[in-house]
Structure formats: structure tokens, C-alpha cells
Amino acid sequence: MGGSVNPKTGHYIGTWGEFGCPTPQRIATYALSSNRQRPFAGAFHAAIFNTFRRFRGQVLYVVPPFVIAYAALNWAVER
């Protein structure tokens, strides 16, 4: 298999399946830090405190309507 010159640029671009330069360049390697290899580290501890924080933030929006509905239902049953 012989390569040919690119007619637009006049440069040799390699044979089929080997386009570009013969040696690889700009190879990116990725690694994971050892302290990032525990995806669930502290998840249970964080879940407890996050659940408490979210409950504390929403309790005043949820509880009063239920208390009012319970009082109205109780009043209707007694009447």
C-alpha cells in the first residue's frame, strides 16, 4: 500500500489507517487520586445530617397544613 500526496495541501498524510504522523503525539493519560477512590466515603454520615437539615428547612411548610386539616376533621367528626 502506498500513500499519496494530499491534493489540497500537497502534504503526505500517510497510508490508509495510518493517517498523520507515524509516532503518536499528545497522548493524554488520566489517573484517579487515591483519596478519590472511595465514592461512598462518609455518605451515611452526610445523609443523616443532610436529611436533618432538609427536614428542618421544610417542616414549617408541611406541618401547619396537616395540623389545620386534622383540627378541621376532628371538629367535623365531633359536630
pLDDT in tens, the chain (79 residues): 456 666 676 666 666 666 655 566 677 788 877 777 777 888 888 899 999 999 999 999 999 999 999 999 999 999 9
The grid cell for 35 is 483519596
pTM over 0.75: no
Report the alpha-carbon distance of residue 44 to residue 38 in Å, rounded: 13
Per DSSP, the residues of 13-78 read --STT--S-SS--S-------GGGS-TTTTHHHHHHHHHHHHHHHHHHHHHHHHHHHHHHHHHHHH
Domain spans in the chain, listed from the N-terminal domain onward: 38-78
